[in-house]
């Protein structure tokens, strides 16, 4: 029998979204002066602009790219891009996990674009050399539900004809991204920053802006998706004049997380923490013959949403496994995503402490035996 461990992770928040808050986070850190004020007041605009400026600095985003806060989390941001820009040329969609499949569904059933669909099973990556870059191309940089990511941006040609659309919600603040290869990117604060939900972030490169200003889609656009007025990009969206009313509490929370990131040295510090966490989890897996990585190829294995296989475990076993750890306060929300193969999913992004990953190992042994 495996004895119940005596040391618990100090912060057992290993959920892959919403993710752990930054270490030391407290509601007392939030600047509440703007609460109860209009987001269009001078103060409201100033705080929104600060949030945008900090994101640009932490992402090392070039001046060529605009960045705006939009409604609907990452899903809202990505669908905003799809609805407003697709249809000007053929489309290719890549899918190797559930969110990529969601974009396939949107392109096929909602927008009726008849895209080229390139798929891979959970744990695998499709052959990126198959991609025809005369098309617009949609992909997830880091598959949150499969633990598979693109290795880099080398497969995206600099002289591409189509636009690159990257759902980057589990990738930003964790990897180096070559922004010259990205025309559209989206993410939400609730992943790598441990922020609150409901808001998405939309990044547009110059080629995406050109598309918006030169192409009028033959479909109705709800107000929340409209990025152009009188044939020109609505620039206010990218300086803090949001389309709809944002939660300023969520904005202030994002500012706290971004300032924490800045205190680490910015992107380099965030990447270092993520890599240390992923390495700690790798050691746990290597020491246990009943644990494995769903993503077998190290070059395309996620360092944020790490998906693990558990030998002999079915969905019911995994539910018991995760429930036991939750009841013990040792790990929260680590069962695999509902559409993914049964297993565990452990967030290793920068807001998690490596010591907590290390403390998790013995608890996995105990929970497996109990389950």
What is the average pLDDT across 223-239?
Answer: 95
CA distance 285 to 167: 28
Residue 172: predicted pLDDT: 98
Cα dist from 50 to 43, 45, 344, whole Å: 10, 8, 37
332 beta partners: 13
State how far Cα 255 lies from the chain centre: 18
What is the average pLDDT across 192-215?
Answer: 97
Q: What's 334's DSSP letter?
A: -
- Polymer length of the chain: 371
Cα dist from 191 to 17, 34, 200, whole Å: 5, 24, 11
Residue 160 in this model has a pLDDT that exceeds 90: yes
State how far Cα 288 lies from the chain centre: 29
pLDDT digits (tens, 9 = 90+) for 339-351: 999 999 999 999 9
Residue 303: predicted pLDDT: 98
Residue 369 in this model has a pLDDT that exceeds 80: yes
For the chain, give the percent of residues with pLDDT over 90: 99
What is the average pLDDT across 64-88?
Answer: 97
The CATH 3.90.1150.10 portion of the chain extends over 266-370
Closest CA to 170 of 40, 73, 302: 302
Give, for 282, the enclosing helix (H) or strand (E): helix 267-286
- Tell me how crowded residue 194 is: count the other CB atoms within 10 A of its CB: 27
CA distance 61 to 28: 30
Residue 260 in this model has a pLDDT that exceeds 90: yes
Pick the CATH number of 266-370 from 1.10.760.10, 3.90.1150.10, 3.65.10.10, 3.30.70.600: 3.90.1150.10
Would you call 63 helix, strand, or coil by DSSP?
Answer: coil
Would you call 14 helix, strand, or coil by DSSP?
Answer: coil
Would you call 117 helix, strand, or coil by DSSP?
Answer: strand
CA distance 201 to 363: 36
pLDDT digits (tens, 9 = 90+) for 266-311: 999 999 999 999 999 999 999 999 999 999 999 999 999 999 999 9
94 beta partners: 118
What is the average pLDDT across 129-148?
Answer: 97
Residue 2: predicted pLDDT: 75
CB distance 149 to 171 below 8 Å = yes
CB distance 212 to 184 below 8 Å = no
State phi, psi for 147 to the nearest 5 degrees.
75, 25
- Cβ neighbours for 204, distance < 8 A, ≥ 6 positions apart: 65, 66, 67, 68, 183, 184, 212, 233, 238
Residue 259 in this model has a pLDDT that exceeds 80: yes
Residue 227: predicted pLDDT: 97
| Average pLDDT over all residues of the chain | 97
Residue 3: predicted pLDDT: 87
The CATH 3.40.640.10 portion of the chain extends over 27-262
What is the average pLDDT across 110-135?
Answer: 97
Sign of CA dihedral 26, 27, 28, 32: positive
Give, for 47, the enclosing helix (H) or strand (E): helix 42-59
CATH 3.40.640.10 corresponds to the domain 27-262: yes
CA distance 68 to 236: 9
CA distance 97 to 132: 21
3-state secondary structure 195-253: CCCCEEEEEECHHHHHHHHHCCCCCCCCHHHCCEECCEECHHHHHCCCCCCCCHHHHHH
CA distance 34 to 57: 23
164 beta partners: 137
């Amino acid at each position: 029998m495996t004895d119940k461990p005596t040391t618990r992770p100090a912060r057992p928040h290993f959920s892959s979204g919403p993710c752990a808050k930054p270490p030391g986070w407290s509601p007392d850190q939030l600047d509440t002066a703007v609460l109860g004020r209009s987001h269009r007041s001078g103060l409201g605009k100033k705080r929104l602009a600060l949030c945008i400026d900090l994101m640009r600095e932490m992402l090392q985003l070039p001046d060529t790219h605009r960045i705006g806060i939009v409604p609907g989390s990452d899903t809202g941001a990505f669908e905003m891009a799809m609805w407003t820009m697709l249809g000007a040329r053929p489309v290719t969609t890549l899918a190797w996990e559930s969110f990529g499949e969601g974009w396939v569904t949107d392109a096929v059933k909602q927008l009726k674009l008849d895209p080229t669909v390139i798929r891979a099973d959970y744990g695998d990556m499709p052959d990126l050399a198959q991609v025809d870059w005369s098309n617009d191309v949609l992909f997830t940089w880091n598959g949150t539900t499969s633990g598979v990511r693109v290795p880099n941006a080398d497969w995206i040609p600099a002289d591409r004809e189509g636009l690159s659309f990257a759902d980057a919600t589990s990738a930003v603040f964790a990897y180096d991204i070559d922004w010259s290869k990205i025309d559209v990117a989206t993410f939400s604060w609730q992943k790598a920053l441990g922020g609150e939900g409901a808001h998405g972030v939309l990044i547009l490169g110059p080629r995406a802006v050109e598309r918006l200003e030169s192409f009028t889609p033959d479909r109705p656009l709800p107000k929340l998706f409209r990025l152009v007025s009188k044939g020109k990009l609505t620039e206010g969206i990218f300086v803090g004049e949001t389309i709809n009313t944002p939660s300023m509490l969520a904005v202030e929370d994002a500012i706290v997380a971004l300032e924490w990131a800045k205190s680490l040295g910015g992107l380099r510090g965030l990447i270092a923490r993520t890599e240390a966490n992923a390495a700690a989890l790798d050691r746990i897996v290597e020491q246990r013959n009943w644990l494995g990585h769903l993503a077998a190829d190290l070059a395309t294995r996620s360092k944020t949403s790490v998906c693990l296989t558990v030998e002999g475990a079915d969905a019911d076993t995994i539910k018991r496994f995760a429930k036991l750890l939750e009841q013990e306060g040792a790990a929260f929300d680590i069962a695999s995503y509902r559409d993914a193969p049964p297993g565990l999913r452990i967030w290793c992004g920068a807001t998690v402490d490596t010591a907590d990953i290390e403390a998790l190992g013995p608890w996995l042994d105990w929970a497996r035996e109990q389950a």
